[in-house]
């Protein structure tokens, strides 16, 4: 028997809910409004299935239909985002810290949280003052590669009850993107519970040893401040103590940070 895409085996749960959420996820990942055909390709659902589910999604304001018959997220998506912020205070606690890092001359600063079992979500992003940047934006879903990805992966591997206080600083060079590099630290709450990964990233050519030596203490101190705002404390791992003892050199002209 041939298994169609709508009939493919799924984890336990309610199939209709899974399919409706697949439509919402496809719209969330899209850069512009989507046609029915584009939704079908992105969600791996038949058009007839999508049309039935869209009636409920539109009624509940999760999806809106434009006059040209394309679809976008509805106002409920904004409401959910506001509710998430009220509950977690991510923007209030972390956004000012990203601003401070970039003002200190670092590379672009981002904050990432776990998303699904093998991905991370960039919640906040502050571009550096350099003319060339890496391609990361708020709302983007990324794999568990790169510096921030490795921090999230450490949490995923350790489990929900993991104490992330002594993970320390993580570096990455060309793992997710061959032309980019990054450094990241965990941000924790009470008892070391994982909140997210604070990272600095940019073109790999600017991540010289001197640049990384300069940015690492700035990032770690920023992660400590962010953790304190969430009611946690970030311990200094041995690797970070070694960095503090190493001489800090200024950035060479034209290298950037």
Exposed/middle/buried for residue 116 (C-beta within 10 Å: 0-12, 13-18, 19+)? exposed
* The model's pTM: 0.79
- The reply to whether 127 and 60 lie within a common domain is no
Per the domain annotation, does 124 fall within a domain? Answer: yes
Cα–Cα dist 196/112, whole Å: 5
Q: Which residues neighbour 123 within 8 Å (Cβ) at sequence distance 6 or greater?
A: 90, 94, 111, 112, 113, 138, 196
Whether 118 and 65 share a structural domain: no
Q: Does residue 240 share a domain with residue 189?
A: yes
Measured over the CA atoms of residue 101, residue 152, residue 93 and residue 161, the dihedral's sign is negative
Q: Per-residue confidence of the chain (257 residues) as pLDDT tens digits?
A: 444 455 544 556 789 999 999 999 999 989 899 999 999 999 999 999 999 999 999 999 999 999 999 999 999 999 998 998 888 889 999 999 999 999 999 999 999 999 988 899 999 999 999 999 998 999 899 999 999 999 999 999 888 888 999 898 999 999 999 999 999 999 999 999 999 999 999 999 999 999 999 999 999 999 999 999 999 999 876 666 666 555 444 333 233 33
Whether 69 and 111 share a structural domain: no
What is the pLDDT, as a whole number, of residue 146?
95
Quick one: 97 and 164 in the same domain? yes
CATH code at 70?
1.10.10.10
Query: Is 216 part of a structural domain of the chain?
Result: yes
- Per-residue model confidence (pLDDT) at position 116: 81
Q: In whole angstroms, what is the distance from residue 218 CA to residue 98 CA?
A: 11
Q: What is the distance between the alpha carbons of residues 140 and 85, in angstroms, rounded to a whole number?
A: 17
């Amino acid at each position: 028997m041939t298994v169609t895409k709508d009939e493919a085996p799924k984890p336990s749960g309610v199939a209709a809910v899974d399919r409706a959420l697949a439509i919402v996820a496809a719209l969330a990942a899209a850069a512009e409004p989507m046609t029915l055909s584009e939704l079908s390709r992105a969600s791996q659902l038949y058009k007839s299935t999508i049309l039935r589910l869209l009636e409920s999604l539109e009624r509940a304001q999760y999806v809106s239909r434009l006059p040209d018959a394309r679809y976008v997220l509805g106002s409920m998506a904004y409401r959910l985002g506001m509710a998430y912020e009220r509950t977690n205070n991510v923007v209030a606690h972390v956004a000012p810290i990203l601003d401070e890092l970039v003002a200190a001359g670092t590379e672009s600063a981002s904050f990432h949280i776990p998303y699904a079992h093998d991905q991370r979500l960039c919640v906040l992003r502050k571009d550096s003052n350099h003319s060339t940047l890496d391609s990361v934006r708020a709302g983007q879903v990324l794999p568990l590669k790169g510096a921030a990805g490795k921090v999230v992966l450490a949490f995923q591997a350790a489990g929900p009850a993991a104490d992330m206080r002594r993970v320390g600083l993580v570096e990455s060079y060309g793992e997710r993107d061959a032309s980019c590099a990054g450094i990241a630290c965990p941000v924790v709450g009470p008892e070391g519970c994982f909140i997210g990964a604070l990272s600095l990233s940019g073109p790999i050519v600017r991540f010289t040893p001197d640049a990384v030596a300069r940015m690492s203490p700035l990032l770690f101190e920023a992660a400590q401040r962010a953790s304190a705002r969430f009611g946690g404390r970030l311990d200094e791992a041995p690797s970070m103590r070694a960095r503090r003892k190493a001489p800090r050199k200024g950035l060479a002209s034209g290298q950037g940070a």
